[in-house]
């Protein structure tokens, strides 16, 4: 019987825990965590993402502020906005929704974020602290995967984990975290990517596969070992005129055939995705607690 | 015919290149790079290491300053010394020789080093920049391995590299660097450690093995594939009364038997070790150039 790693349910549990922590803070006369989100322009997907983050804040009792800026804003004006957020004592943490318009240097903006308020964990100071096992903000997606592995008590110690994809926001950090000591850690991790040869030889050896590639249904049943644990981070819109929206969301994993072979698997949607917002909230709560 | 990756010779070449760069700077009326080293106490091995670093500076035309402090120094007094070095415009880069006496919080001291002068590359801000592929100081040992692979034109792209050991100063950074894009990169990297099961099954698959474990002659011939490239980072003193010093230096690799099977191998001593000081000099030159 394959275990479904239900990110929707688990994220609801996490949000409920976070809400309890906020309620306790309020009862003790402490301020509620306050997350700000900076959104430049009118990109539809970005609006959707930021909207759900703001709604999630409200649901757990956080304060939230959405700062919407015209896509014609200059880099300097955006940096001034960042400086204001860094200085504002009311704001515990904030995110800058990516992508930014092309005339703005994304790297320069992210480096301007105060690491103490960088609840996305994208600043190199935080990334380095993560890699060196110091207290930090872990980027939400890998943080969500670690939380999921831990809560579902998936054994990782001594297991061989093959990570597909070396992005800075998923593949790289999860490969680091799972090979460190601690909960959901101590795995032997192989990081694979576009230059990897014979990737199926590696995935077939894996006790755990984490796929963060962005190619729909890339991972087939003949590429995994019976009993493997499959974590699917892929979220790709695939055109499908038979659906009312005109598309369906596909993961990196050919779900039906792989699920039949795996011991545990995350569905898409409803797996890793919902964990991401919960971990952003957790980071914001952490930022608020650390400031005190 | 097994290729010997001669770190002694290569580091001499690098030092000569660095000396040329320094001579050019001087000829252009620019200052020479200036490295400072902080040594607390009288530990014999630390004295030896720091001594060779200072001599290496002199050999390439750098300025150098050795700051010796009593092992009874308080943490606060050491931190004041660090603050002075951060502020001193004459100092381009500096190192704090480890280990520090037990009453001093090593982490606190390393975090006090200005990342712009952190030529050891141990500060999380620099480590994070490395992991996120931004300009930084790469820790000397992994930097030396990358330089060696590149200069000896060892193909790494698409190759499977197994790293043994997950230390912050060797295993972790080399596993990150070799799996990134760029020279000596694009490898598929497996990071193994004390919790790894059946490590020999992994090392036998490896096109490249980087061992940074510290167990003398751990890696035997039956654990490696014919034609593999072997990088031995281990340096362990093994008692041997038949030698005048009373000990011999052993690597992680059973050299004779593994060399017979490998396509290329680093000797110990004379392999990775000598590269380390050369890369510290290179980082100091970089620090000096970046400041300008």
The ipTM, to two decimals, is 0.96
What pLDDT score was predicted for residue A194?
97
Domain that holds residue B220: 140-272
Q: Does A202 touch chain B (CB under 8 A)?
A: yes
Residue A87: inside a domain, yes or no?
yes
Q: Which residues contact B246 (CB under 8 A, 6 or more apart)?
A: B239, B240
Q: Which of A190, A192, A266 is nearest to A228 (CA)?
A: A266
Instruction: Give domain status of residue B75, yes or no.
Output: yes
pLDDT digits (tens, 9 = 90+) for A216-243: 999 999 999 999 999 999 999 999 999 9
Q: Which of B177, B195, B205, B209 has the highest number of chain A CBs within 10 A, making it the mutation to test binding with A?
A: B195
Tell me whether residue B123 is in a domain. Answer: no
Q: Which pLDDT does position B15 carry in this prediction?
A: 98
**Is A40 inside any structural domain?**
yes
- B176 CB neighbours in chain A (<8 A) are 131, 172, 176
B290: CB partners within 8 A, 6+ apart: B116, B135
Mean pLDDT (whole number) for A75-100: 97
pLDDT the model gives residue A292? 73
- Judged by a CB distance cut-off of 8 A, whether residue A90 touches chain B is no
Interval B221-248 mean pLDDT: 95
Q: Are residues B67 and B146 in the same domain?
A: no
Query: Which letter does DSSP use for residue A169 in this model?
Result: T
Q: pLDDT per residue over A21-77, tens digit each?
A: 999 999 999 999 999 999 999 999 899 999 999 999 999 999 999 999 999 999 999
Of the candidates A132, A179, A197, the beta carbon closest to that of B158 is on A197
Cβ-defined contact of A196 to B166 (cutoff 8 Å): no
| A151 at interface of B, judged by CB pairs closer than 8 A | no
C-beta atoms surrounding B271 within 10 Å: 28
Residues 6+ away with beta carbon under 8 Å from A125: A115, A118, B124, B125, B128
Q: Identify whether the C-beta of residue A199 lies closer than 8 Å to the C-beta of residue A227.
A: no
Same domain? B149 vs B67: no
Within this chain, do residues A236 and A145 fall inside the same structural domain, yes or no?
A: yes
Contacts of B160 in chain A (CB under 8 A): 197
3-state secondary structure of A57: helix
pLDDT value of position B1: 86
Nearest residue of chain A to residue B192 (CA atoms): A188
Asked if B132 reaches chain A (Cβ–Cβ under 8 Å), the answer is: yes
Band the pLDDT of A115: cuts 50, 70, 90: very high
Q: How far is CA A65 from the centre of its chain?
A: 21
Same domain, A153 and A261: yes
Residue B79 corresponds to which tokens in the numbers above? 């931190």
* Position B96 in a domain: yes
Domain contains B267: yes
A220 catalytic, yes or no? no
Question: Does B292 have pLDDT greater than 80?
Answer: no
CATH number reported for the structural domain that contains residue B66 in this entry: 3.40.50.10860
Q: Indicate if B34 and B109 belong to the same structural domain.
A: yes
Q: Catalytic residue at A53?
A: yes
Judge whether B176 and B136 are in contact, CB under 8 Å.
no
Report yes or no: A189 at the B interface, CB cutoff 8 Å: yes
Query: Residue B126 and residue A128: Cβ atoms within 8 Å?
Result: yes
Please give the tally of structural domains in chain B.
2
Mark yes or no for CB contact A127/B123 under 8 Å: no
The answer to whether residues B250 and B217 touch, using CB atoms and an 8 Å cutoff, is yes
Are A88 and A146 in the same domain? no
Q: Are residues A110 and A33 in the same domain?
A: yes
Q: Do residues B179 and B232 both lie within one domain?
A: yes
Spatial separation of the C-alpha atoms in residues A203 and A225, rounded to whole Å: 8
State whether A148 and A268 are in the same domain.
Answer: yes
Judge if the upstream peptide bond of residue A99 is cis by omega within 30 degrees of 0.
Answer: yes
pLDDT of residue B291: 87
Per-residue model confidence (pLDDT) at position B153: 98
> Tokens 């592995």 belong to which residue?
A149
Q: Do A85 and A47 fall into the same domain?
A: yes
Q: How far is CA A199 from CA A156, A177, B16, in A?
A: 21, 22, 42
Tell me how close the Cα of B221 comes to any Cα of chain A, in angstroms: 22
pLDDT (0 to 100) of residue B290 = 95
Contact A145, A231 (CB under 8 A): yes
Count of alpha carbons within 13 Å of A247, Cβ hemisphere only? 8
* Residue to test with chain A: of B123, B188, B189, B198, most A Cβ within 10 A: B188
**Residue B292 falls inside a structural domain:** no
Which positions ≥6 away from B169 have C-beta within 8 Å? B122, B139, B141, B142
Mean pLDDT in chain A?
97
Phi, psi torsion values for B236, nearest 5 degrees? -125, 135
Pair A62, A280: CB distance under 8 Å = no
> Could you tell me the sign of the dihedral formed by the alpha carbons of A69, A75, A77, A79, in that order?
positive
Mean predicted confidence (pLDDT) in A255-283: 97
- Of B114, B130, B150, which one is at a domain's C-terminal end? B114
- Is there a domain that residue B164 lies in? yes
Contact B158 A195 (CB under 8 A): yes
Mean pLDDT of B150-163: 98
Packing angle of the helix pair B140-151, B171-179 (nearest 10 deg): 40
Share of chain A above pLDDT 70, in %: 100
B135 touches chain A (CB under 8 A): no
pLDDT in tens, B249-286: 999 999 999 999 999 999 999 999 999 999 999 999 99
Residue A24 burial (CB count, 10 A):
10
Distance spanning both ends of chain B, measured CA to CA: 46
Instruction: Dump pLDDT digits (tens) for A116-170.
Output: 999 999 999 999 999 999 999 999 999 999 999 999 999 999 999 999 999 999 9
Q: Residue A236: which CATH number? A: 3.40.50.720
Are B267 and B165 members of one domain?
A: yes
pLDDT at B16 over 90: yes
Interface probe for B, chosen from A105, A175, A179 (most Cβ of B below 10 Å), is A179
Residue of B nearest to A135 (CA): B124
A97 and A158 within one domain: no
**DSSP states of B151-173:** HTT---TT-EEEEE---TTTHHH
What is the distance between the alpha carbons of residues B117 and B137, in angstroms, rounded to a whole number? Answer: 9
């Amino acid at each position: 019987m394959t275990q479904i790693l239900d990110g929707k349910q688990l994220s609801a549990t996490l949000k409920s825990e976070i809400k309890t922590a906020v309620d306790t803070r309020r009862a003790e006369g402490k301020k509620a965590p306050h997350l700000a989100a900076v959104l430049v322009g009118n990109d539809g997907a970005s609006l959707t993402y930021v909207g759900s983050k703001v709604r999630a804040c409200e649901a757990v009792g956080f304060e939230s502020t959405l700062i919407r800026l015209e896509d014609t804003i200059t880099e300097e004006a955006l940096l001034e906005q960042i400086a204001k957020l860094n200085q504002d004592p009311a704001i515990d943490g904030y995110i800058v929704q990516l992508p930014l318009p092309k005339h703005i240097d994304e790297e320069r903006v992210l480096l301007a974020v105060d690491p103490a308020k960088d609840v996305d964990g994208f600043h190199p100071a935080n990334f380095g602290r993560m890699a060196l096992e110091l207290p930090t903000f872990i980027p939400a997606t890998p943080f969500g995967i670690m939380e999921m592995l831990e809560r579902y008590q998936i054994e990782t110690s001594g297991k061989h984990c093959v990570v597909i994809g070396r992005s800075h926001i998923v593949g790289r950090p999860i490969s680091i975290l799972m090979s460190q000591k601690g909960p959901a850690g101590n795995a032997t991790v192989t990081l694979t990517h576009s230059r990897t040869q014979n990737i199926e030889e590696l995935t077939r050896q894996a006790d755990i596969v984490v796929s963060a590639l962005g190619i729909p249904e890339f991972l087939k049943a003949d590429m995994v070992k019976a009993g493997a644990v499959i974590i699917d981070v892929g979220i790709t819109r695939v055109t499908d005129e038979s659906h009312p929206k005109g598309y369906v969301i596909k993961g990196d994993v050919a779900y039906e055939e792989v699920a039949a072979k795996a011991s545990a698997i995350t569905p898409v949607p409803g797996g890793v995705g919902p964990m991401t917002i919960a971990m952003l909230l957790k980071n914001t709560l952490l930022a608020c607690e650390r400031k005190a």
